[in-house]
Structure 1
Amino acid sequence: MNSPGNQQLSVDVSELIKAMLEQNRLREEQMRNLVDKLMEQNQNCLTTTSFVPNYLQLIQNFDGETGDTGVADEWLSALCTAAKLNNWPDTYTMEAARSNLSGPAKQWYLSHMEELKNFDDFRKLFKVTFTSEESITNIWKRMYDRVQGEKESVFNYYHEKVRLCRKLKLNEDETKKIVCVGLRSRDLVTALLSSSRNTEPELLADIRMFMEVQAEHSGRVDHTRPKEIVVKPSTTSTTNNKWHKTKSNEQGNLNIPTVPTKTNNFKPKEYSPKCYNCQLFGHIARDCTRTKRPFKCSKCSIEGHTAKNCTATKSEVTLVNSNLHQTPTNCYIKHVFINNSNEPVSGLVDTGSAFSIIRKSVAEKFKLVVTPKEVKMWVYGNTQPVTSYGESQATLCIDTVKELVECVIVDDELQKYDVIVGRTFVDKENVTFIKTNDQLHFAYGMKFRFEDSEIRKKICILQ
C-alpha cells in the first residue's frame, strides 16, 4: 500500500504536466495568431501597391466618331481591366480615361467634367452616352454598306462583318450570304458558296485554306512564267524612239532584242501618263516644259480654238432660203394660203415631217388660236430636239387642195420657211399630188396611169 505522502506527490506531478501542456498550447496559439497577423499585414501591403499606367500598351484612343457601340464597349472594358490588373485608384483611372479621349469624346468629357466626381460616375455617364442600344435599322445599314476594302485583309473584313451579323441575330446561312456579298474576290465567293460548311469556324477555315492555296499557286505560276524585260527609253528621246522587249529563254540567257512591227500602237508596260504636247510619257501636258502647241479644233481643223468654242458647226433647222418675189426653183417650195387668205406664205412640202409646222409670227399674223403645248421634234443627225411653242388648227390651201390640219407652232428663229407642210396634210385620204421633173402639183381625185384596179385586170387577162 502506498503511503499518503506518495499519493500527494503523484497528484502534484500530474497537475504540473497538465499546466505545462496548457502553456505549450497557448504559446502555439499565440504564435499562429502572430503569423496570421504578419501575413495579413503583408497582404494589405500588396493590395495597396499601385503602378503608374502605361497608356500605349493597355488602352487605345477613343474619339466617338463612328457611333459604333461595340467600339465604345470595348474601350470601356479595356479601361476597367487595366485599372483592376494594376490596382489603380480612381484618380489614376480617371486620368487614364481623360488622356485617351479625343475628338467628340474629348468635348463630351470637358462638358461633363464637373459632374464626374469619381470613376463610377464616369462609367455610368459614358455608357448612357456612347453605349446606348443601337437601332436595328442602323446596324442593318452599316452591315449592308460594309464591303472589303481594296487593300484590306479578308480576315479583318470577315470578323467585323460577322460581328454585325451577330448583332442582328442572323442564322448561319444568312451570315454566310452576307459575308460573301462584300468580298472582293469572285474566286473566294465561288469557293465558299460551293461548300456546305456554314458555321463561323468552318467559314474561317475555308477562307484560310483558300488564301494559303492562292498564295502558293500564284508563287508557283510567277516562277514558271517567262519573264519579260522592258527597256524604257530616256526622257530626252523623241517620239521615233522604240520600246525594246527581250524575253529570257529556258537557260536564262537573253535573246536579241526584238522591235514590234507597229511601234505606234505599242504601249510601255508601266502605265505612265502621256503628254499630248510633246508626245512623251511620264508627265501630262499641263506640266510640260516645252513650247505649248496652239489649240486645234477637232471639228473644223482650224487652229486657235477648240471644238467647244467652234462657230463653224452651228446650223439652223432651215434647209434653204426663200423669197416670195422670185420664182421657186425647188418644186417642193409652194405658195400656201392660210384660212382662206389672199396673201400667200412660203411653204416647204416635207413628206418626211410628222407635223405641219408654222412660225409663231405667221400664226399671230393670221390670228390662229394657239394652245400652249410642248412637243419635242427630232431631226436627223447629232442635234438637240426642237421644242414647240404650242399647237393650233389651220386651213392650208395648196394649188386646188384645201384641208383643215393640226399644226405645231415654233419660234421664228428655228425655221426660215413660214410653213412646213408635213404628213398631216399630204397623208389625207382625198389629197393626191404628182411630181414631174420640175413641178409638184396637188389636186383632188387625180387619175394616175397605173392604178391597182387596172393592174389587177391586166394580171387576170394574162392568166
Structure 2
Amino acid sequence: PSAIEPSNGARPYHLAAASGPPTFHGTPGEDPEEWLDQFERVAAFNSWQDDMKLRYVYFSLDGHAKTWYENHETTLTTWELFKAEILKTFTSILRKERAQLQLESRIQQPNETVNMYVEEMRRLFQRADPTMTEEKKVGFLMRGVKESLFAGLVRNPPKTVAEFTQEASTIEMTVNARTRQYNRPLQVSSISSETTTTNNDWREIIREVVREELRRLLPSTSPPQ
C-alpha cells in the first residue's frame, strides 16, 4: 500500500491496495453478470482499457470457464464480444426463471424505503429480462408498492421507473412528515365503522382500476389481491 504524508507533520498513513478481480469458475451457482460487474469495477479502478481487460481476464478464470475461454480465445477478439459470449454461455435459464418468480411476488417491506425497493427491483429486472420495457417494469413496481403509496400513485400513474421513483418518494416523504406531525403509530384503526367502510370502498375502487391496468400490462401474471 502507498504511504500518504500529511502536511501537518503527523505520522504517515497507508491506503490499502484495491483487491484484484474475482475468479469465475463457470459453476451453476455462480452469477456471470455479478462477476462481470465486479471485474469492470476493478478494471475502472486500474484504468484498464478494453484491450487490457481482454488480456487480463484470462487470469480471473478457472475451471470450466477457463477451459471455455481457451477453446474460444481466437474468436473472442473484443471485450464486448467476450462479455456477450460469456453471458450467453454461463447464464442459467433457472436463474432467469427464479428472478421472474421473485419479481411476481416481491412487495415493498414495512421498513423499506422507495429507493431501496426500486434498486432491488432493478436488480431483478436485469436478471429476469435485461430488455424489459419501462411499461412492464412500472407494472411490477406498482403491484408491490406499499398501500399508502399506491393510493397516491394511481391518481396519475407513472410511465417510467424514474417517474415512479420520484413520485413515490415524494408521497413517502409527505406521509412520513404527516405521521411525525401527528405522532401517529404505523397502523391506526379507524374509530368510526362508517369511515372504515368508506375508506375500504375507496381502496377497492382504486384497486379495481389498477387491476385492469395490470391485466393490460402483465397479462400472464395475477393482479394484487
**TM tier, smaller:** 0.3 to 0.5
Q: Which has the higher contact order (CA 8 A, sep 6+)?
A: 2
Q: Which structure has greater strand proportion?
A: 1
Q: Which structure has greater helix proportion?
A: 2
TM-score normalised by structure 1 residue count: 0.26
